A and B are shown apart, each in its own frame.
Chain A
Amino acid sequence: MTVGLFIPCYIDQFYPNAAIATLKLLQKLGVKVSYPLQQTCCGQPMANSGFEHLTTGCNELFIDNFAAFDYIVSPSGSCVLHIKDHLHSDGQAEKANSVRKKVYELTEFLTDILKVEKLTARFPYKVGMHQSCHGQRGLMMSQMTELVAPPFSKPRQLLNMVKDLELVELSRPDECCGFGGTFCVAEEAVSVKMGKDRVADHLNHGAQYITAADMSCLMHMEGILRRQNSQVKVLHIAEILNAEEV
């Protein structure tokens, strides 16, 4: 099995530790992972802003970088959803189609493909898990509170394998944090208010860390936590799942 590591642009530039943890975690689980060096961005920021017609360059680049792998894995549900839903190519339609079918968010890859049942990680803290909308509702990584259906959660299933980690329950388990791509600046007031409320739910329940399977939500919440001089930190789920036993 060959796995191509897709590291979204903002993780590459701002959160390399989340990417390093993703890589190491996959390697630890015996997966042969390669990181194609010419990758940039999935094109979502443009597409969600209504400029999907400007994503041709990104699409072609993505296909060139990743078409050869058996699986494509990324630590960002939102970017994965964009590829799954919107990647297209006039010249390489078949390749685009196959890429869309084999792209996975990290935690769903771990639970659904690798079928991981135990991890060696230890993280002795109270952790709040933010359910990122695109992963949850788009990729169906966990059950949604709006639907009448039995609960499940792929990220939670994995966090439960981490020794000494205590997950805190939230008052609103799956409300959006308000990042929303360019929404965060175009609708600054509402975005910030949503972020403040989201962070408060975690703080009110005693979280020492906030984690998610999507770094973009965490970047937004981190910006708010820092402005509030909070000691609470954000950590990508890969960093917790990869945390060494002390």
Chain B
Amino acid sequence: MIKGNKDHAALADIFNQDEARVDWHDETLWFVRAKRDKAANTLSEWEALRENASQIKDNVLSNLHDYLSEFESNAQQNGVIVHWAADAAEHNQIVLSILKSKEISRMVKSKSMLTEECHLNEYLHQNGVEVIDTDLGERIVQLAEEPPSHIVLPCIHKKKEEIGELFHEHLGTPKGASDPQLLTAAARVHLREKFLTRRAAITGVNFAIAETGEFVVCTNEGNADMGAHLSEVHIACMGIEKIIPKRANLSVFLRLLARSATGQPITTYSSHFRTPRKGQEMHLILVDNGRTQQLGRADFRNSLKCIRCGACMNTCPVYRRSGGHSYHTAIAGPIGAILAPNLNMKQYADLPFASTLCGSCTNVCPVKINIHEQLYKWRQVIVKEGYADPKKTIAMKAMEFTLSHPYIYRNAGKSGRWVMKNMPFLVNNKLNAWYTQRDMPAPPQQSFREWYKKNNNE
């Protein structure tokens, strides 16, 4: 969701108005990162697992067409109805047409970042279909009419008191109640009624296995199973990069996914869906939505290895202090910042710059995506395509001229230091973003070069 036309820096500035909240957000996510470290360190083969996962995905991306074809024909043989969608609009139309053919106007949906990417809820709502998100975190942000701020922890930006307030308003819990157990119990009762009465369920897909035509959905709440098992129509939506070649590959990813995401040894439910049960229809929608385009960008194709664990967000010092909504895209954080410009370079030109390039994201990534290197590369592409701030371009050109000419550089340095010393008001003012909350360095008497010329006898 785009908030006006504010970029990441402006939205992060707003988020930072409440410093205590930033501290809380940072500490909560750091706690998850620390749990991830602990879990990773229980496996001495952790780095080998990452390498293995990365290579499996390399194979997948190099042979995507073959694996997709194999998957499609196996799924069809299993009795699954397979659809292909070129983009978000087509995906949404397919979902709606399936529902219409069954005259269904109310449904449940378990967690799927792909449907967030496609803005499916909004689309279905506009077309008269009621969607209830059944993942607890998703349900909370849905009640708050907000997008998720994190791909694994959708309401990580909300405090339990705020959730209590929402539940009081929508689910009738006592006013002021914020006990997580009480709130969860209320959500359980509320959702159970939906599971029992809705005829259609949407799930995401974590892994799709070419060899068998089955797909795997990982949840901690079992809500995907509740929805899919009780419904007469199960629609699963997946990005085409979710393919893995064989069942044997699955263990590698299941071991990495939960440990990277939350520090758990394994996700509570890893459910395999292969054939529809008697009387049920099982649909699977394979969505491109820019993925083949990203596959064609050599520098960025690795981003398609992502298994959506969210570890890069939890470790990212910028994400922790700017909040997921400041990224104004469905997938926030470092991985989102390299995926979004592929979809719309102009709209997301700010995101690759929302990073210090510290590299922590790359190190935690379970499939070894070189995230910070891709952020650097996107910056070059975005500037070359003309989406840079014109003021920045002028400044950079001036910098280029100065730094290419040693004599000019030295004089600029000297006069700069003179100004800082004798006319500090020219530097220490509101126009200087450095000075707002930081002091400038004290200008020394002489530069190193000046000292060297006077003092060093080689």
Contact = CB atoms under 8 A, between A and B. Distances in A.
Interface of A: 7, 9, 11-17, 19-20, 23, 34-35, 37-41, 43, 45-58, 60-61, 133-134, 137-138, 144-149, 172, 174-176, 178-195, 197, 219-220, 222-224, 226-227
A105 to B, nearest CB: 15
A191 B13 CA distance: 10
B13 A188 contact: yes
Give 3 nearest A-B pairs by CB, closest first. A57-B404, A180-B356, A223-B438
B318 A190 contact: yes
B417 A179 contact: no
A188 B357 contact: no
A27 to B, nearest CB: 9
B114 interface: no
Contact of B409 (A9, A15, A50, A56): A9
Nearest to A136: B359
B425 interface: no
A180 to B, nearest CB: 3
B379 A61 contact: no
B452 interface: yes
Contact of A183 (B46, B353, B360, B443): B353
A180 B458 CA distance: 35
A56 B444 CA distance: 30
A15 B380 CA distance: 30
Given A12-B449, A187-B322, A194-B317, 5 more contacts: A17-B444, A40-B406, A57-B403, A137-B358, A194-B321
A65 B202 CA distance: 63
Contacts of A181: 356
B448 A7 contact: yes
Contact of A50 (B19, B354, B382): B382
Nearest to A224: B438
Contacts of B19: 193
Contact of A133 (B356, B400, B402, B433): B356
B356 A176 contact: yes
Contact of B396 (A49, A148, A195): A49
Given A38-B406, A187-B318, A54 B9 contact: no
**B interface majority secondary structure:** helix
B446 A180 contact: no
Contact of B397 (A54, A194, A197): A54
A170 B417 CA distance: 35
Nearest to A223: B438
B353 A187 contact: yes
Contacts of B446: 16
A159 B43 CA distance: 32
A112 B388 CA distance: 41
B30 interface: yes
Contacts of A39: 406
A133 B47 CA distance: 20
B449 A37 contact: yes
B157 interface: no
B456 A35 contact: yes
A56 B315 CA distance: 34
B327 to A, nearest CB: 12
13 contacts: A14-B444, A19-B451, A37-B453, A39-B406, A60-B404, A146-B363, A178-B356, A180-B357, A188-B9, A188-B433, A188-B437, A190-B9, A190-B321
Contact of B8 (A147, A172, A187, A193): A187
Contacts of B433: 184-186, 188
**A interface majority secondary structure:** helix
A133 B399 contact: no
Interface string B414-458: 001100000000000000011011111101101111011100101
A14 B443 CA distance: 6
A45 B406 contact: no
Contacts of A45: 399
B439 A223 contact: yes
Contacts of B441: 14-15, 219, 222-223
Contact of B360 (A47, A137, A190, A192): A137
Contact of A190 (B12, B315, B358): B12
Contact of A35 (B318, B400, B449): B449
Contacts of B269: none
A145 B393 CA distance: 37
Nearest to A54: B400
Contacts of B416: 13
A55 B403 CA distance: 9
Given A46-B400, A194-B321, A197-B26, A61 B406 contact: yes
Interface string B342-369: 0000000000111111111011100000
B47 A146 contact: no
B67 to A, nearest CB: 30
Nearest to A178: B356
Given A9-B413, A14-B443, A187-B353, A52 B380 contact: yes
- Residue of B322, B358, B383, B443 with most chain A CB atoms under a 10 A cut-off: B358
A58 B403 contact: yes
B16 interface: yes
A57 B400 contact: yes
A52 B13 CA distance: 28
Contact of B434 (A47, A180, A223): A223
- Residue of A14, A182, A222 with most chain B CB atoms under a 10 A cut-off: A14
B197 interface: no
B22 A149 contact: no
Given A61-B404, A227-B437, A180 B448 contact: no
Contacts of B278: none
A40 B403 contact: yes
Interface string B368-393: 00000000100110111000100011
B101 interface: no
Nearest to B441: A14
B9 to A, nearest CB: 5
Nearest to B434: A185
